[in-house]
Structure 1
Amino acid sequence: MGHNTYMKSFTLWFLLISSLLLSWQIYAVSGENYVDYSKFSKELAQELQQDITKLEELEDEDSFYEKDFDYSSFSARVTDRDKTSNIIKISSENRNIKFFRAGDEVLFNIASMKDREKCEGHVRSVEDKYFVIFVKDLIPCWGKSEYFRRGTVLVVKSFRLAERVREASIYRGILLKRKKSFFKQLNSVNHFVWSYNQQKVKVAAEYDKEIMRIRKKKQRALEELQLNKKDQIVLQKELIQRLDGVDEDLDFYRIEKDELQVDRWHLDQDLGVPVGNRPIKAKPKL
């Protein structure tokens, strides 16, 4: 009758649903985004940021939820009880009882005594195909003197369960959307993994083509540089020859002013200096 591993996982899962729905309600009222949409893909994040009324439309997408069906009512059977008959363990073929949580209110009648009032109980724990409730008083639906037998068939009514089923159907629609998004991403990943060799060859070919283009460009540049070198060598020789010619012309056309020492007798006559008619020998320098 205690909690098992399934109950713990169910509790954690249902807390996740409740927190998610609460976040959507807060977002709808205050206009603030309290959900970390960065954890989802972009497309899924856009879908999750819808109004709750739009999310309800997801119920029709393979959520197995029927709006016209009464999920609050189901039949069950008493399988065990304590001596006081206040704690009752109930089995049911209704698999939606997994959505019960501790503290949920349930109303029930005895199947053979539907004309009597309903008894009120509260869920204590949930197991696979079983749930345990606490009933304060069985008199309204059972009576005082009759022994509450194991195997008694009950007709259970729980509006909270119906609400939880509806919430679960909405969340299942979201999960389906998320699954589709994951499948889409997985398909893209698989396509990349499966076509890796082709992609590798394609990328290598593109880079080989680029390398060949660069090599040709390099070769062409080197050839142009070699031709330019030859032209520069020819130009160098031509410039050297022209420079030599210019140097010769500069030497030829250099203007010089010489002071005559021997053949200057006629110049002295022009100056009126007393000299002889013939030039004389030059005096030796001391």
Structure 2
Amino acid sequence: MEHIITKANVDEAVAFVRAHAPVEDGALGLVLGSGLGELVEAIEDAVYVDYAEIPHMVSSTAPSHAGRFVIGSIAGRPVICMQGRLHAYEGNSPQQIAFPIVLMHALGVTELVVTNAAGGINTGFDVGDLMLIEDHINLLGANPLAAPDEPELFPRFYDMTQAYSPALRERAQRAAASCEIELKSGVYIATLGPSFETPAEIRAFRTLGADAVGMSTVFEVIAARACGMEVLGISMISNAAAGVLDEPVSIDDVYVAAEAAVEKLSRLLIACAGDSVPGTLV
């Protein structure tokens, strides 16, 4: 595996981004999942930096993923947003997927919100529901930091007991209540893709304790926690997973569901960001 997450590479990328956009320490990091790119409309004073222009980064090729950083503010909180993420099914290495997360940390991000579109395994979920990720199961078959040690960036070994911050989940619940948005909670399981799962796999995942399934998020969260960031994960339930209903799974259904949920998720994220501005916690 190509080793690109090095102190020298990260420093070079930081210098490039800072030369092209104003970045404040303590910014909120945001990763937008499939079909959720329109959430950037909530970002004020936005400056755009394409991934392909940044040293050591690659661009996203997945549909609905613009492949750029959007830097600005939401509800008074500085924000660095990934409008589109990188996936392993695009042929990207785990390190390529994790690099922008390490970069955001080096740019001053202390809290990271990761979003995704996911298939509902839990039969109590409906399409359009928002699920707070309590924990995850990594079936991607790799770890982005299984590489030569980089002690200046993160420790060799790090705890994943609370990969998803209880404090940030509490903040999200508080924000959801203020917006009259119902939040579900559950465990996210990540697979390689790009094929959707089989009904037998979904039955196995349910036995493992998974509530939703997708093809992203886990590598990013591993990198974020290694760097010391607090993480909030939100899955938008875009479809019933294979075998839950007697109908095929379609990527078009994912995009339709994401489009319908964007407004709700946007309101939640704005409320969360406002709740995180110093002096506004209740």
Common fold: TM-score over 0.5: no
Looking at secondary structure, tell me which structure has more helix per residue. Answer: 1
TM-score category (smaller protein): under 0.3
Q: TM-score, normalised by structure 1?
A: 0.23
Looking at secondary structure, tell me which structure has more strand per residue. Answer: 2
